[in-house]
């Protein structure tokens, strides 16, 4: 997905692990990277980058999840499934807060390194959103083909982003 976004915005995507990003950026092999703010501290990318574009209209995000084989899940007694589901609810909130906190730490670290944050103008944000719109359209089409309400999921996400932009 990240590669599709970069390409839609006119870049040439190159896949690499986060462990390789510091070296690639510091040597000029890569000009930019899509990453959360936490990577600016956690992977020290704030040491080798000077600018961050805050982008809510075309940015990417990744879902993190833990999965279990459905047959294995079904083999667990219902009372134990209920305990796991309860723990999952607690974990969701704690993990979400932790990600928010480390993103704040990453931004603070980068600013101390001299990082400049660039906010897109409304016009530029709209241009970027238009550039990635076909990717979102493809998601909805693919989801519908699988019997999943992709249009509803996309609307939920876009509404949330619009209501929670900083």
In a domain, 79, yes or no: no
Quick check: is 76 in a domain?
no
Instruction: Report if residue 86 sits inside a domain.
Output: no
Predicted pLDDT at 102: 94
Residue 141 sits in a domain of what CATH number? Answer: 3.40.190.170
Q: Note down the domain range covering 126.
A: 2-63+106-164
Note the pLDDT of residue 92.
85
pLDDT in tens, 72-93: 999 999 999 999 999 999 888 8
pLDDT value of position 61: 67
**Which residues in the chain land under pLDDT 70?**
60-63, 166
Is 37 within a domain?
A: yes
Mean of pLDDT over the chain: 91
Structure token pair of residue 7: 């390409």
**Rounded Cα distance, 157 and 163, in Å:** 10
């Amino acid at each position: 997905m990240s590669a599709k976004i970069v390409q839609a915005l006119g870049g040439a995507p190159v896949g690499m692990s986060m462990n390789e990003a510091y070296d690639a950026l510091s040597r000029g092999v890569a000009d930019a990277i899509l990453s959360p703010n936490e990577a600016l501290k956690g992977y020290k990318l704030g040491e080798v980058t000077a600018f961050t574009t805050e982008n809510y209209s075309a940015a990417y995000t990744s879902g993190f999840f833990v999965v279990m084989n459905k047959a294995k899940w079904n083999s667990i007694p219902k009372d134990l499934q209920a305990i796991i589901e309860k723990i999952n609810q607690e974990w969701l909130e704690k993990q979400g807060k932790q990600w928010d906190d480390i993103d704040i730490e990453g931004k603070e670290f980068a600013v101390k390194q001299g990082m400049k944050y660039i906010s897109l103008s409304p016009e530029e944000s709209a241009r970027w959103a238009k550039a990635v719109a076909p990717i979102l359209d493809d998601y909805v089409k693919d989801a519908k083909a699988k019997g999943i309400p992709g249009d509803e999921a996309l609307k939920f996400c876009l509404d949330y982003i619009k209501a929670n932009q900083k």
